[in-house]
Amino acid sequence: MSVTSVERVALMERLSARLGVVGLIPFLLVLIVIGMTLVEPRFYSLANLFNILRNTSFLAIMACGQMLVMIVGGMDLSVGATAALASVVAAKVMAGATEAFGVDPAAAMSLGIFISIGSAAAVGLLNGLCSALLRVPSLIVTLGTLSIVSGITLMMTSGMPVYGLPQSFITGFGRALWWGVPAPAYVAVAVVGAVWLVQRKTVLGTYIYAIGGNPLAAIVSGISATFYVVLTFVLCALLAGVTGLLITAQMGSGQTNLGGDRLMLLSIAAAVIGGTSLRGGIGRAEIVGLSALFLSTLTNALNLLRINSKKELVVLGVVVVAAVAIDSLGRGKAAVE
Amino acid sequence: MSALASTESPAASGPPVPIGSAVQVSAPKLLEAIEISKRFPGVQALDGVNFDLAHGEIHVLFGENGAGKSTLINVIAGTYPPDGGRLFYEGQELRHLSPHHARLIGVSPVFQEFSLVPDLTVAQNLSLGREIARFGFLRAAQMRRRAENLLAELGFDLDPRKTVRALSRAHQQMVEIAKALVSDVRLLILDEPTASLTERETQRLFGLIERLRRENVGIIYVSHRMREIKQLADRITVLRDGKLIGSRKASEVSESELLEMMTGRKIEFLFPAIEHKPREKALQTTGLSVGGVVAEVDFHAHVGEITGIAGLVGCGKSELIRAIYGLEPLTAGSVQVNGTPCEQISPTLSLSRGVCYFPADRVAEGLALERPIRENVSLVALRLPLLSTYGWIRRGAERRLTRQIIERLQLRPPSPERTVAHLSGGNRQKVMLARGLTRDFQVFLFDEPTIGIDVGAKIEVYNFMKTLVEAGAAIVLVSSELPEVLHLSNRVYVMHHGRMVAELGGKEITEQNVLARFFQDSSKGAAG
Amino acid sequence: MDRVGGIQSAAVGLPTTAERRQVLAHSVSLVYRVLVPASPAILALGFGVYVPAVLSLENIINIIQQTAFLFVLTCAQTIVLLTRGLDLSLGPSVSMISVASALTMTAIVGSDGSNGIIAALAGTASGLLIGLLVGIFNGIAVAWLRVNPFVATLASMNICLGIGTSLSDGHPVFGIPEEFNVAGYRLHVLGIPMSIIYAMAVGIALHLLLQYTVVGRSFYVLGSNPRAAIVAGWPRRRLLALAYILSALLTAVGALILTARAASGAPNLGGGLSLQTIAAAVIGGVSLTGGRGGLSSALIGSFFITILSNGMNLAEIGGYTQMLVMGAIVIFAVALDRVARMDL
């Protein structure tokens, strides 16, 4: 019996498909937790766990947005920049409203949130329209908007943080503990839950899967692909904006650079490790949430082990490649264009 | 909601005509297509074609691959607009027809490429675009029940909760057909629906078609298979090279007439006479298996003759030769080329052993469309001394070789720098076949060589095969076109469900014999 | 759906009528073919109207020198684009190589400037070596691990960022031997600056590679139809990896020229540079879906982007606005490319 080299690959494919990256996550998570408890006791402190929880919340929300865009067959590189934009806009509006016009903090916050989310949605609209109408691959579009939005944010702040946020926004929300749990966690659970609901139980969810799975089938069934693609990009940008707001509330000031590149990379990693296919049509919010937890735990562990943020990028890079490799290999020949 | 439930007569049917009288001339036809033309880069797909369909009529669209049948039904289904001509539906002119609009007015096409979302369930696919929902929230149970009812009515044994990706191609086709019947269908288009169905499934499909006819649904049935037509058609329209050759009542035309209309020549002249002189074994497989698709195949081909492999779409014949060439992984068995067992198999190794493979899908696997003819012709031979030294391309030699081959294969237009994308199907096929002349090959594996090319080009391909085999090569011909396999091969294998169920030679090679074997399960049982 | 850098992307437009599309595609394609080579000149003239300084001899020489640098990097990006891939790691890779080679050189050169030549050679070698490593990483990830090029180079981009900024804590590295600066940048041979000579050498090498070698031809085939390449017996993985390796080596060359020009290791070239090379390649006519493009595309595109950047600087358009413009230009260029390609 002669065995071809192709067969060896097929064997590897079957193995990876069975394991899948998704199946590995709980296992890896437990591994990290055990490892860290042995090596670094600070890992288990309440403050640190809350830290992980907050970071997971930020990442989960952004990753859900990224997942939606991926399901529809695209990718959004501008999420980090959009989060920063939301952050800066919110801060400027809130600070401006209270200082210049003596508006009461609650109104200032509402106004700030509203306008900031609006600006994020505008970015999403731009992304969506260029992708769907101009027929430019979303990869390139969002590479472009990344630049554009960063530019705008820098112009608004000249690179400096924006202070003057109402205290209640920071202490009452961003850094607060509601019933003993960091406030952002509630927002994250609500968001992931909402996305899960939409995916499983609504027409919108079905349409997003359909457009990603077989766009021709969707169009032929009368689904307006353009409308839903644009909507998806807007949703993604909105979620990025929400993340920006949460981070702003926690940091206490509007930030031009929310570690933008890093967050963007993490959101893609979380989505892919969470089982979202780069080919479109597949992705589940609850698993993406889980993978966000995994990645946040990982980065936290790296941080505690005093691997500085720059080297962390290196580790992240390797993790992403590994995750996608396992996913691709599991998919077999389909991965070759 | 299904078309099968109601039987309302068409609204605008004109004054009632007494039973027994002649054809209703005053009632508008279901569909009238007048002087339809359509051009694609490099080819005139349709040239002033007239076509019409009455209610409750089964109108067969007959013709070779590449004759224009697909293009016509796509125009009718709204996939793209015609460049010229007009369409009338129930007496109303159709302008700016979109695929969705077509479905809304009752035109339901079932194409060969399914419009199913692979990762959604059967129920979800059947409800796509017409979900039952309240405030945007799906009523999943209701939709599933609706799907179950529809499937039961049609007699399809499918679980609506299964993901489409998990279904076999035949089952996917059933879902596609069910999908077509989900809304009010007035005009059903079926494009070669029986390609991958068993005999029993085919008969069930025909039963369904009969029921629809009784409901006054007009049906356009596209095929190039004679026996189906005999069973179904009211009228037959023959297309060739994008032109309308003729429309006849099924009862008034004979089989040979149809064939002559389809090919434009007497059947004897379509296939060249080939002198087979079989000598030593060039290729042999023992117990070859590929996953669940090919099971324990023993097969051999000789130099100097054409060995044909026939079988339904999906029987594994393509996968067999692909595995021999190195494109599919072997899970068991072995291959010998010229008597030497192959330890490792890959395209590169096969080429060096003198085995050449022509893929079935030339666009996906055979040609680099954006590149010029010259680069495509030299594709398999570029690293040989003739065309390159130590990695340096000898452009002059490459150009000369390309010109020689263009001349020999009569490629039109004869310019080596022309982008392949701008060539017609027949010429593209020639560019792909050209690679067979760039190296020393002993074995040629042809995989569905005449898909989508016109009759003239087909004859040239057959003559090409003739020259190769009479010059002393071994040819393995895999084809779903039974006439091709019958007329060209010296020996014929038949495959069914991945197994070799028959080996026929000489006088045994008849249509009846082969067809009978198409549905025969060998004693070993089916694969996977 | 389209695939760019291996990623399917949501460019799902409404089906416009086929004939309208074809006519549009044809006319755009025609205009495109004529306009593209002329565009840098047109752009320069355009700027010249508002800011006469743009057309001064001194500035033109400046533009040519700047272009030389961008051209080398665009050639690197072009190689990868041809194979239907993408290299996002280009910018940070340049920084990392620049800093690393600078550190090597400053380690070897004496405080009095002795061992200059050895240091310069060592620096060059280390730069090329590091480039090679990046190329190998990308190549293995894309070719063997089947990671798609976008994700792979996104990862390596961050890895390079991480390493690059760690090496010197984000500070420029001074103290490079003069010999290096001179050989890399300042020297004039027959009145022509070295940077331009290097650029010409790279250009000629690229052209020969793409048009006259089997390896170069394989890039076109891989980009145009990877499956056909496999069926035709091309060792796809080896060749794909080679594309990334060659690209990375060219990137290293570019990084070394930059280091010589700045006379220091420059750690702060981020992703902006990657975007510029993609923009330059696409504007020049390289197709994002692979299989099309070459030397002239890289050249035209590099000139265009350099003139754009130069013009904006002279017109005193702020740095942040420039980012905006660059982003918009990329989107526009690709959109045009898509439309022009519809006639295929």
Q: What is the pLDDT of residue B404?
A: 93
Best mutation target, A16, A336, A337, to test chain C (most C CBs within 10 A): A337
What letters, b where the CB count within 10 A reaches 16 and e where it falls short, cover A176-209?
beeeeebbbbebbeebbeebbebbebbbbbbbbb
Most confident of A67-76, C147-156, C256-265: A67-76
- Give yes or no for residue C15 having a pLDDT over 60: no
Q: How far apart are CA B410 and CA B372, in angstroms?
A: 17
Return the sign of the alpha-carbon dihedral for residues B222, B227, B232, B234: positive
Closest CA to B506 of B318, B316, B308, B338: B308
Q: How far apart are CA B223 and CA C312, in angstroms?
A: 63
Q: How far apart are CA B343 and CA A286, in angstroms?
A: 47
What DSSP letter does each residue of A4-20 carry, written as one string?
A: -HHHHHHHHHHHHHHHH
Q: What is the pLDDT of residue A246?
A: 93
Q: What is the pLDDT of residue A211?
A: 93
- Give yes or no for residue C3 having a pLDDT over 60: no
CB-nearest to A265 from C2, C15, C158 is: C158
- Give yes or no for residue C28 having a pLDDT over 70: no
The ipTM of this complex is 0.84
CB-nearest to C233 from B81, B348, B364 is: B348
The 3-class SS string of chain C reads CEEECCEEECCCCCCCCHHHHHHHHHHHHHHHHHHHHHHHHHHHHHHHHHCHHHHCHHHHHHHHHHHHHHHHHHHHHHHHHHCCCCCCCHHHHHHHHHHHHHHHHHHHCCCCCCCHHHHHHHHHHHHHHHHHHHHHHHHHHHHHCCCCHHHHHHHHHHHHHHHHHHHCCCCCECCCCHHHHHHHHHCEECCEEHHHHHHHHHHHHHHHHHHHEHHHHHHHHHHHCHHHHHHCCCCHHHHHHHHHHHHHHHHHHHHHHHHHHHCCECCCCCHHHHHHHHHHHHHHCCCCCCCCCCHHHHHHHHHHHHHHHHHHHHCCCCHHHHHHHHHHHHHHHHHHHHHHHCCC
Interface contact A222-B344, CB threshold 8 A: no
Q: What is the pLDDT of residue A80?
A: 93
* Distance spanning both ends of chain A, measured CA to CA: 31
For residue range C309-319, list pLDDT tens digits in order: 888 888 888 77
B186 touches chain A (CB under 8 A): no
Q: Is residue B18 very low, low, confident or very high in pLDDT (cuts 50, 70, 90)?
A: very low
Q: Is residue B154 very low, low, confident or very high in pLDDT (cuts 50, 70, 90)?
A: confident
Best mutation target, B117, B164, B296, B322, to test chain A (most A CBs within 10 A): B117
Searching chain B, which residue's CA lies closest to the CA of residue C223?
A: B368
Domains identified in chain C and CATH numbers? 29-341 (1.10.3470)
Q: What is the pLDDT of residue B9?
A: 38
- Which top CATH class is B270-354+440-518? alpha beta
Closest CA to A330 of A10, A5, A2: A10
Interface contact A148-C324, CB threshold 8 A: yes
Q: What is the pLDDT of residue C222?
A: 94
Interface of B with A in 314-353 (CB under 8 A): 326-335, 341-346
Best mutation target, C217, C230, C246, to test chain B (most B CBs within 10 A): C217
Q: How far is B107 from chain A (nearest CA, A)?
A: 12
Which has more confidence, A335 or C66? Answer: C66
Q: What is the pLDDT of residue B13?
A: 43
- A chain contacts of residue B345, beta-carbon cutoff 8 Å: 2, 4, 6
Q: What is the pLDDT of residue A205?
A: 94
Neighbours of chain C (3+ CB pairs under 8 A): A, B
In chain A, % helix, strand, coil (3-state, to 5) comes to 80, 0, 20
Tell me the sheet residues that pair with C193: C188
* Distance spanning both ends of chain C, measured CA to CA: 16
Interface contact A325-C3, CB threshold 8 A: no
Interface contact B333-A282, CB threshold 8 A: no
For residue B69, CA distances in Å to B60, B61, B351, B366 come to 10, 7, 37, 24
Neighbours of chain B (3+ CB pairs under 8 A): A, C
- pLDDT, average across residues C268-274: 74
- Give yes or no for residue B48 having a pLDDT over 50: yes
Which of these ranges, A316-330, B151-165, B344-358, has the smallest mean pLDDT?
A: A316-330
- Give yes or no for residue B523 having a pLDDT over 60: no
Cβ contact A90:A166 at 8 Å? no
Q: What secondary structure letter does DSSP report for B340?
A: E
Interface contact C15-B98, CB threshold 8 A: yes
Searching chain A, which residue's CA lies closest to the CA of residue C138?
A: A321
- Give yes or no for residue C136 having a pLDDT over 90: yes
The pair of structure tokens assigned to A70 is: 């991926």
Searching chain C, which residue's CA lies closest to the CA of residue B383?
A: C214
Q: What is the pLDDT of residue C32?
A: 67
What CATH fold (topology level) applies to the domain A45-325?
A: ABC transporter involved in vitamin B12 uptake, BtuC (1.10.3470)
- pLDDT, average across residues C269-290: 82
The pair of structure tokens assigned to B173 is: 């086709």
Q: What secondary structure letter does DSSP report for B521?
A: P
**Position C201: which residue type?**
A
Q: What is the pLDDT of residue B17?
A: 43
- A chain contacts of residue C167, beta-carbon cutoff 8 Å: none
CB-nearest to C233 from B81, B370, B380 is: B380
Q: For a pLDDT cut of 70, what percent of chain B falls above it? A: 91
Average pLDDT, chain C: 84
Q: For a pLDDT cut of 90, what percent of chain C falls above it? A: 38
- pLDDT, average across residues B235-258: 88
CB-nearest to B368 from C18, C212, C221 is: C221
Interface contact A201-B331, CB threshold 8 A: no
Peptide bond into B413 cis (omega under 30): yes
Q: How far apart are CA B3 and CA B215, in angstroms?
A: 8
- A chain contacts of residue C165, beta-carbon cutoff 8 Å: 310
Residues of chain A with pLDDT under 50: 1-6, 18, 333-337
Q: How far apart are CA C187 and CA C181, in angstroms?
A: 8
**Position B378: which residue type?**
S
The pair of structure tokens assigned to B227 is: 């026996």
- Collapsing DSSP to helix, strand or coil, B315 comes out as coil
Q: How far is B422 from chain C (nearest CA, A)?
A: 7
Q: Which residue has the tokens 């010296």?
A: B490
Interface of C with A in 168-207 (CB under 8 A): none
Residues of chain B with CATH 3.40.50.300: 270-354+440-518
Q: What is the pLDDT of residue C13?
A: 38
- Give yes or no for residue B209 having a pLDDT over 70: yes
- pLDDT, average across residues B468-486: 91
Cβ contact B160:B122 at 8 Å? yes
CB-nearest to C161 from A139, A143, A313 is: A313
- C chain contacts of residue B348, beta-carbon cutoff 8 Å: 233-235
